[in-house]
Chains A and B, each alone.
Chain A
Amino acid sequence: MSITRDEVAHLARLSRLALTDDELDRFAGQLDVIIGAVARVQEVAAAGIPPTTHAVPFSNVYREDVLVPCLDAGTVLAQAPAAEQGRFRVPRILAED
């Protein structure tokens, strides 16, 4: 099993990471080694073995539906990268064309 530089570039796009060419070169080699090592899980005979998603099994956890105060807008916006008129200011979300 191996991973190509193009596949790593695709993963970077999916991961929303604008990597440089140097980073792509370096990560392609490193991820190839790591994926080769973790692929060992495929050696295990696991037919019929159920997956474990969580260390300690839980069913739904319920609580009383009680109103509790939430943070005020000023407190929340105090840590925002940009705010305007009491709201988060974000970059445009639609493409120009």
Chain B
Amino acid sequence: MASGSELTSLTAAEMASAVAAGEISAVELTGAHLDRIARTDLHVRAFLHVAADGALAAAKAVDERRAAGEPLGPLAGVPLALKDVFTTIDMPTTCGSKILAGWQPPFDATITTRLREAGVVILGKTNMDEFAMGSSTENSAFGPSHNPWDLARVPGGSSGGSAAAVAAYQAPLGIGTDTGGSIRQPAAVCGLVGVKPTYGGSSRYGLVAFASSLDTPGPLARTVLDAALLHETMSGHDPCDSTSLDAPVPPVVAAAKHADVAGLRVGVVTELAGDGYASGVLSRFNEAVELLESLGAKVTEVSCPHFSYGLPAYYLIAPSEASSNLARFDAMRYGLRVGDDMRASAEDVMSLTRAAGFGAEVKRRIMLGTYALSSGYYDAYYGKAQQVRTLIARDFSAAFEQADVLVSPTTPTTAFRLGERADDPMAMYLADLCTIPGNLAGNAAMSVPCGLAPEDGLPVGLQIMAPVLADDRLYRVGAAVEGALDQRRGHRILDEANGIERVGDASAEAGR
């Protein structure tokens, strides 16, 4: 029998084939990950809720199905960390907010259902910036998660808990949501693969809404193939989500195995570089572009002149939608209720509850959205932002005439220190500078590790962007970059994450 750390360091694909072949049981595999969580999560704080009993029961069901000779899906028995923004009937769903602390939803999200049906073992619910608003998990009401590369740094956000769990080998797979970069940015700063599928490619039913026209669930993984396997498992048309695309899931697994960029036209976005980008981020990015060229890709520069207006447009559109979506937290039917002394009015109870239940960033965004939608300001702010959205989509269309995929750094810097940007909302917002255009246009995008910044030894992400429903191109390019870099190094970039070793040492010390 393999040791626990041997099991947790396998890829999801390897785990699934070992379970299918009967070399390991799903229960044994789940147990190894639960042990790893117990040993490391005091330091990483990736999980808000660990569902040990439920996970072991789900694993046992997979083992029984195998024993009965039933066919198993490509991820059956593989453990996963689920962002606490998806409803789960057997686990709390808090969105990192006090207003939903302890809420146990009466239904499963479609994504949750698809995972269960595929035999994926949900280990628990992961930490996040409150209602997915943030880039560090520091906006979680339950405290921040820590980056396994350096525990004094942020794991990115808002899906930082899922990213930290996967980077700390607590789970081989994680699910996040990406509204302005919330999958890709944590993937980049934790040295992972993270994908924002085409908008509408993955279901939003049972995903607690932040900005409905932008929210997109997607996979986090340690390898491109693992991300593809999860992408295929979680995606596809859902009649319960009226914005779900009624189209086949792009062939992402086949593309990840194909990994060939010969003749592919790669466009470097001129506007996504320059001032504000760390030198190590730019040098690794430029090397990745040279690597693609050496693998046979045809590299050109493309200009997307309106991308520089993406950030301001996003911080009008997303808060506007949020101010409307979060009106449902009214203290009447579920969640927190404060100040109900039988005399206070419903309106007063509502205001007291929302003031007590929401954190500072959520309050800022609700007020910002309320402002942008106010009569007198609507045309100058929300209306103008929606026109910018059209111009950004047109920039993408023009760029995709010249190139099959576009590339840029995923985020301007490596992981920043906890607390460094916590009191400066605008500095925090800059983390999403390169990822926001993809959300506004709804196309598919991936972050794949492309090396470590020389100045701090922390991971850098390469962002790959593809047209709507051409998600498979991301995997083709991502797998080519991953394969070439792994071969050059002789190991995966994540193997150099020594924060994890320090976590292990600290636990060993504590255990003595």
Q: Looking at the assembled complex, report how far the CB atom of B369 sits from the nearest CB atom of chain A, in whole angstroms.
A: 8
Who on chain A is nearest to B367 by CB? A11
Find chain A residues with CB under 8 A from B330 CB: 16
B213 interface residue (CB < 8 Å to A): yes
Inter-subunit contact A55/B106 (CB<8 Å): no
Say yes or no: is B333 at the interface (Cβ < 8 Å to chain A).
Answer: yes
Q: Which residue of B lies closest to A49 (CB)?
A: B387
Q: How far is the CA of A15 from the CA of B442 in the complex (A)?
A: 29
Q: How many residues of B contact A (CB 8 A)?
A: 75
Take A17-B351, A27-B364, A53-B213 as given contacts and tell me if A81 and B340 are in contact as well, using a CB distance cutoff of 8 Å: yes
Complex Cα spacing A61 to B344, Å: 42
A19 touches B368 (CB 8 A): no
1/0 per position for B383-415, CB-CB distance to A under 8 A? 111111111010000000000000000000000
State whether A79 and B103 are in contact (beta carbons under 8 Å apart), knowing that A27-B364, A88-B333 are contacts in the complex. yes
Q: Which of B245, B323, B348, B351 has the most CB of A within 10 A?
A: B351
- Point out the residues of chain A lying under 8 angstroms from B313, CB to CB: 38, 41
A61 to B253, CA, bound (A): 29
Residues A55 and B354 in contact, CB atoms below 8 Å apart: no
A18 touches B (CB below 8 Å): yes
Question: Which residues of chain A come closer than 8 Å to B349, judged between CB atoms?
Answer: 91
User: What chain A residues lie within 8 Å of B315 (beta carbons)?
Assistant: 34, 37-38
The answer for the CA separation of A30 and B428 in the assembled complex, in Å, is 13
Interface pair B363/A17, CB less than 8 Å apart: yes
Rounded to whole angstroms, the CA-CA distance of A56 and B350 in the bound complex is: 35
- Number of A-B residue pairs having CB atoms within 8 Å of each other in the complex: 182
Contacts of B344 in A (CB 8 A): 91
| With contact pairs A37-B426, A56-B199 given, residues A91 and B345 touching in the complex (Cβ less than 8 Å) | yes
**Majority secondary structure of chain A interface residues (helix, strand, loop or mixed):** loop
Residues of B within 8 A of A33 (CB): 425-426
Contact B367 A17 (CB under 8 A): yes
Q: In the complex, how many angstroms separate the beta carbon of B314 from the nearest chain A beta carbon?
A: 9
- Please, which residues of chain A bring their CB within 8 A of the CB of B366? 15, 17
Q: Does B6 contact A (CB under 8 A)?
A: no
**A-facing residues in B318-365 (Cβ within 8 Å):** 323, 327, 330-337, 340, 342-352, 354-355, 358, 360, 363-364
Point out the residues of chain B lying under 8 angstroms from A51, CB to CB: 383, 386-387, 389-390
Contact partner, B384, options A37, A41, A53, A90, Cβ 8 Å: A41
B238 to chain A, nearest CB (A): 11
Whether A18 and B334, one on each chain, are in contact in the complex, defined by CB atoms closer than 8 angstroms, is no
Check B425–A55 contact: CB distance below 8 A. no
Interface residues of B in 445-482 (CB under 8 A from A): 468
User: Considering the chains assembled together, what is the distance between the CA atoms of A12 and B365 in angstroms?
Assistant: 11
- Does B370 lie within 8 Å of A11, measured CB to CB? yes
**A67 CB within 8 Å of chain B:** no
| CA–CA, A11 and B371, complex, Å | 7
Q: Which residues of A contact B333 (CB under 8 A)?
A: 76, 79-81, 88
Please report the C-alpha to C-alpha distance between residue A22 and residue B331 in the assembled complex, in whole angstroms. 24
Q: A56-B200, A91-B349 are in contact. Are A39 and B312 (CB under 8 A)?
A: yes
- Asked whether A31 lies within 8 Å of B243 as measured between CB atoms, the reply is no
Task: Give residues of chain A (13-62) contacting chain B, Cβ–Cβ below 8 Å.
Answer: 13-20, 23, 26-27, 30-31, 33-35, 37-44, 46, 49-56, 58, 61
Among A26, A27, A81, A88, the one with the most B-chain Cβ atoms within 10 Å of its Cβ is A81
- The smallest C-beta distance from A22 to any residue of chain B, in angstroms, reads 11
Is B208's CB within 8 Å of the partner chain A? no
Residues of A within 8 A of B387 (CB): 41, 44, 46, 49-52
**Pairwise interchain contact A54-B213, C-beta atoms closer than 8 A:** yes
Kindly state the separation between the CA atoms of A81 and B346 in the bound complex, as whole angstroms.
Answer: 13
What residues make up the interface of A, taking CB atoms closer than 8 Å to B? 3, 8, 11-20, 23, 26-27, 30-31, 33-35, 37-44, 46, 49-56, 58, 61, 63, 71, 75-76, 78-82, 88, 90-95
Binding site for A on B (CB under 8 A): 103-107, 198-200, 213-214, 239, 242-243, 245, 306, 309, 312-313, 315-316, 323, 327, 330-337, 340, 342-352, 354-355, 358, 360, 363-364, 366-368, 370-372, 374, 380-381, 383-391, 393, 425-426, 439-443, 468
22 inter-chain pairs at a CB distance below 8 angstroms, sorted by A residue, are A11-B370, A15-B367, A15-B370, A16-B330, A17-B351, A17-B358, A17-B363, A34-B364, A34-B368, A35-B368, A38-B313, A38-B316, A39-B380, A41-B384, A46-B388, A49-B387, A49-B391, A51-B383, A55-B439, A71-B106, A80-B333, A91-B346
Nearest 3 interchain pairs by C-beta: A55-B442, A51-B386, A81-B337
